[in-house]
Amino acid sequence: MQYSSKLIEKAVQEISKLPGIGQKTALRLVLHLLKQDEQYTRSLSEALLQLRTQIQYCRQCHHISDEPLCSICRNPHREQTLLCVVENSQDVIAIENTAQYKGLYHVLGGVISPMEGIAPSDLHVETLLKRLENSSIQEVIFALSPTMEGDTTTFYLTKKLKNLGLKITTIARGIPIGSEIEYTDEITLARSIAARTVYEV
Amino acid sequence: MQYSSKLIEKAVQEISKLPGIGQKTALRLVLHLLKQDEQYTRSLSEALLQLRTQIQYCRQCHHISDEPLCSICRNPHREQTLLCVVENSQDVIAIENTAQYKGLYHVLGGVISPMEGIAPSDLHVETLLKRLENSSIQEVIFALSPTMEGDTTTFYLTKKLKNLGLKITTIARGIPIGSEIEYTDEITLARSIAARTVYEV
């Protein structure tokens, strides 16, 4: 496409690198920005830059955070005996939005996937094991997507945790197999946490 | 939604103000940015800001431009006798991408719409009339959307231009290439029969 403006071309090019946004949508967004107040583009641009440069990852649970320890880990009112293991920060946000779960989290940063070359050593497994030693945690809930990779990861980790004397559960399969946690509706997701079942090895 | 991070919240809030982007999509984009190299967010953020602060509108045709006179108006190889009147810059870009039209443009900046309170005085009509006086333009092509508002605007402007001795045309209305006759609306179909053209073998 030709835009007769280098500025437009550059902006369209950068925006269309985002997932799910093609050149036509990018152009529509660019022309929308031009119609809006300059202040909006300033605050959008600034928010993106601040986000990317100032964001941190919680040193305990690896969730995205504004501080070295995230607001969930810092909160003394969360149940300190419950730990929910999830794939990524999207999943933490999705579960938090059900307002049903009051325990802590551990973000693995992915799931084991031989196809994509993701091994347990690429995930936050070591910090999970270290965290569970001498902690107040009594139950570990696996809330990984019910896919081949998610199930493999759950299986791998439950074997690792077997000798720690913890109660190990997985969220109930109210979630349709093959779908992803971040896109599940809140009611189904909340119910699946409430109806979690004991994972038997 | 709660994001447990003010930075995420702010970025999601700003992105979801864009048309067609809700909170879930905004969050997906934000988390995508976090996974990418910091340099990408820098160049995206910069491209948006530069676009919004440095863009200009051509003082002759009102198309978006990097300079006071746009690249189309500056180009001496464009046919200086043809002027295509369009609603907005998107339409210029769309027509340019056909690579069929070699004349000049005039961007009205909208169409007359009593419903939305857009009067001729809100559009670049004065500059159009001034431009046509003592110019090399011999034909004015109206390329406005075939809607109530577009037709009203074409009608209004053709009356204004009547005494200038110009050839006045509108782009052909008919059945789009690739569509099927049985699904075409009755008005378009009726008009396409009335305005049938000689088939030359």
Instruction: Give the C-alpha separation, A12 to A5, whole Å.
Output: 11
A101 and A155 in a single domain? The answer is yes
Considering the entire predicted model, what is its pTM?
0.73
Of the two residues A128 and A1, the one the predictor is more confident about is A128
The pLDDT score that the predictor gives to residue B198 is 78
In a domain, A133, yes or no: yes
Whether the pLDDT of residue B85 is over 80: the answer is yes
- Mean pLDDT for all residues in chain B: 90
Whether the pLDDT of residue B98 is over 80: the answer is yes
Partner B, chain A 140-179, Cβ-Cβ below 8 Å: none
In a domain, B189, yes or no: no
Short-list B193, B85, B76, B59, CA closest to B143: B85
| B14-29 average pLDDT score | 93
Whether the pLDDT of residue A176 is over 80: the answer is no
Short-list B139, B108, B112, CA closest to B125: B108
B44 and B72 in a single domain? The answer is no
The pLDDT score that the predictor gives to residue A102 is 93
B108 and B166 in a single domain? The answer is yes
**Which residues in chain B have their CB less than 8 angstroms from residue A17's CB?**
40, 44
Could you give the number of structural domains in chain B?
2
Partner A, chain B 20-39, Cβ-Cβ below 8 Å: 20, 25, 27-34, 38
Q: Pick from A54, A69, A94: which residue ends a domain?
A: A54
Instruction: Give the C-alpha separation, B159 to A55, whole Å.
Output: 60
The pLDDT score that the predictor gives to residue B64 is 92
| B25-53 average pLDDT score | 93
Q: Which amino acid is at A39?
A: Q
| A176-189 average pLDDT score | 78
B23 and B63 in a single domain? The answer is no
B98 and B121 in a single domain? The answer is yes
A82 and A164 in a single domain? The answer is yes
Dump pLDDT digits (tens) for A22-79.
998 999 999 999 989 999 999 999 999 999 999 999 999 999 998 899 999 999 999 9
Q: Is the dihedral of CA A156, A122, A97, A70 positive or negative?
A: positive
Is B43 an 8 Å CB contact of chain A?
yes
Instruction: State which H helix or E strand residue B139 sits in.
Output: strand B139-142
Strands B167-170 and B139-142: parallel
Question: B83: pLDDT confidence band, cut at 50, 70 and 90?
Answer: very high
Question: B42: pLDDT confidence band, cut at 50, 70 and 90?
Answer: very high
Instruction: Give the C-alpha separation, B31 to B36, whole Å.
Output: 9
Instruction: Give the C-alpha separation, B196 to B194, whole Å.
Output: 6
A49 and A85 in a single domain? The answer is no
Which long-range contacts link B96-101 to residues 24+ away (Cβ below 8 Å)? B96/A2, B96/A4, B96/B72, B97/A1, B97/A2
In a domain, B191, yes or no: no
CB atoms within 10 A of CB A68: 12
A37 and A111 in a single domain? The answer is no
Say whether A1 and B93 touch across the interface (CB within 8 A): yes
Whichever domain contains A165, its CATH number is: 3.40.1360.10
Whichever domain contains B10, its CATH number is: 1.10.8.420
Whether the pLDDT of residue A173 is over 90: the answer is no
Question: A191: pLDDT confidence band, cut at 50, 70 and 90?
Answer: confident
- Mean pLDDT for all residues in chain A: 89
Residue A12 contacts residue B71 (beta carbons within 8 Å): no
Instruction: Give the C-alpha separation, B65 to B63, whole Å.
Output: 6
In a domain, A67, yes or no: no
Strand partners, A84: A105, A141
**Which residues in chain B have their CB less than 8 angstroms from residue A93's CB?**
1-4, 27
Mutate to test the interface with A, among B2, B33, B49 (most CBs of A within 10 A): B49
The pLDDT score that the predictor gives to residue A20 is 92
The pLDDT score that the predictor gives to residue B35 is 87
What is the span of the domain harbouring residue B102? 57-170
B62 and B49 in a single domain? The answer is no
The pLDDT score that the predictor gives to residue A106 is 96
B48 and B74 in a single domain? The answer is no
In a domain, A68, yes or no: no
Question: B128: pLDDT confidence band, cut at 50, 70 and 90?
Answer: very high
Whether the pLDDT of residue B201 is over 90: the answer is no
**Which residues in chain B have their CB less than 8 angstroms from residue A51's CB?**
7-8, 10-11, 30, 33-34, 41
B78 and B117 in a single domain? The answer is yes
The pLDDT score that the predictor gives to residue B194 is 81
In a domain, B126, yes or no: yes
A31 and A128 in a single domain? The answer is no
The pLDDT score that the predictor gives to residue B4 is 75
Question: Which DSSP symbol is given to A170?
Answer: E
